[in-house]
Amino acid sequence: MNVNYRLTSNSASEICAQIRQRISIPWLWQHHNLPEAPKPGGRCRSPFYEDNNPDFYISRDGSWFKDHGEPNHKGDVIRFEMLASGCPAREAIGKLRELASLPANARSGPPEYQPSKLRPMTLDFLERGSTGDLKRLAALRGLSLEALETASAAGVLRFATLIDGPPGEERCRAWVITDQTRYVAEARRLDGQPWAHIHDAKSWTLPHGSGGRTRWPLGILEAQNLHAIALVEGMPDFLAAFHWIWAENRSDVAPVAILGAGNSIHPVALPLFRGKRVRIFPHCETKPNKFNGFDAARAWETQLRPIGAIVDCFDCSGLTRSDGQPVSDLNDLCSVSHEQWQNEAGAIMP
């Protein structure tokens, strides 16, 4: 069944295009609290009728569906809304336009980015790194070499030899993440050991930047030409997002990282999230009386929705690593078995 939405104006066509870009079928399924569970890249039972067989297929990127048990049930997110709400196309488009925070005229101006409150750091000591550096990091974090090469080519992964303490103390090879703005940079030791000079912390935010720089979402400028964002917490998950983009062949997704669950998104960067489909990957560890990953996800969602981002959250609780330990973050997810990834996790990227 081919659905003709009967839209003639360029503005209406642009609205439909932006709806398809901003809202995925799995997100809309959950928004309507429909029965069963969506499974991007696989088959599940239809949410629209009593279905004895898992014949309802959703594309891996969540943009289209096809019910092999009901030939008339297929199409894009607009068609899905028509079935979910039992309404005609024009009404479905109106509902989705509101959900996507789109104006009646889709030709609104681009987000205004005014970086005047932040200044770049001087990071001329950073290095591209050798093949040996990349291989050591891949082995340390359980990531693909191809993903790290992509991060290096993007300019967000660098290496350096840093001193762990006052002059004359131990010199350590480190991996560093930053982005094209150079507003913030954070380092970890390549040998996996903590930094002795900062009370055995794993990550070291390099000094001499602007105040509040740790709130800058690393990679957000690099994300401007892509429609989807994997929003993560911390250095390892930032690289893990590159790994999953490589594993799922999702070059339409950009990794973006906040350096710590307690950090809100810097207000200077918020306009750059407008119109993006954002999937948050919180850390699943919960510690008594401490702000945790799910608290951070709720706080970031509260910031992002009013500026027109479409936000959902990936919950990795219940999954296990290959060593039997629970998965607590996106980097841990890289060590699950292929069978568990396909059967339980499904598509990771938004």
Mean pLDDT, rounded, for 108-130: 76
| Mean pLDDT computed over 74-92 | 94
CB–CB of 257/217 below 8 Å?
yes
CATH number of 10-99: 3.90.580.10
What is the distance, to the nearest Å, from the Cα of residue 63 to the centroid of all Cα atoms in its chain? 17
Give the percent of the chain with pLDDT over 70.
88
Question: What's the helix, strand, coil split of the chain in %, to 5?
Answer: 30, 15, 50
Q: Of 28-32, 126-130, 221-225, give the lowest mean pLDDT range.
A: 28-32
Q: CB within 8 A of 243, min separation 6: which ones?
A: 143, 144, 147, 334
How does strand 228-233 pair with strand 157-163? unpaired
pLDDT at 259 over 80: yes
CA distance 220 to 138: 24
* pLDDT for the residue 62: 78
Domain residue limits, the chain? 10-99, 117-212, 228-345
CA distances from 262 to 10, 85, 118, 135, 298 (A): 43, 38, 20, 31, 11
What does the pLDDT average to over 212-219?
91
Q: Which CATH number fits domain 228-345: 3.90.1070, 1.10.10, 3.40.50, 1.10.3210?
A: 3.40.50
Identity at 70, one-letter amino acid code: E
Residue range 38-55: average pLDDT? 88
Instruction: Kindly tell me if the per-residue pLDDT of 112 is higher than 70.
Output: no
Average pLDDT for residues 191-217, to the nearest whole number? 90
Calculate the CA dihedral of residues 183, 252, 296, 272 and round it to 10 degrees.
50
Q: For 169-194, what is the mean pLDDT? A: 94
pLDDT tens by residue, 3-27: 444 443 446 777 888 788 778 888 8
What is the pLDDT at residue 272? 93
* Confidence at residue 6, expressed as pLDDT on a 0 to 100 scale: 42
Judge whether residue 338 has pLDDT over 80. no
The answer to whether 334 touches 240, Cβ cutoff 8 Å, is yes
Span of 109-113, 251-255, 341-345 with lowest mean pLDDT: 109-113
Mean pLDDT (the chain, rounded): 86
pTM of the model: 0.70
Beta carbons within 10 angstroms of residue 19's beta carbon = 23
Long-range CB pairs of 12-17 (<8 Å, 24+ gap) are 12/93, 14/106, 14/107, 15/93, 15/97, 15/102, 15/106, 16/78, 16/93, 17/106
- Ranking 31-40, 119-128, 195-204, 284-293 by mean pLDDT, the lowest is 284-293
User: Could you say which DSSP state residue 344 is in?
Assistant: I
Is the model more confident about 191 or about 209? 191
The three-class DSSP label of residue 336 is coil
User: What is 5-27 written as a DSSP string?
Assistant: ----SHHHHHHHHHHHHH--HHH
Q: Which residues of 229-267 are buried (b: 16+ CB within 10 A; e: fewer)?
A: bbbbbbbbbbbbbbbbbbbbebeebbbbbbbebebebbe
Indicate if the pLDDT at residue 130 is higher than 80: yes
* pLDDT score for 103: 67
Which of the residue ranges 141-150, 257-266, 283-292 would you say has the lowest mean pLDDT? Answer: 283-292
Residue 190, pLDDT above cutoff 70:
yes
- Residue 291 pLDDT exceeds 80: no
> Is the pLDDT assigned to residue 45 strictly greater than 60?
yes
Residue 144: pLDDT band (50, 70, 90) is very high
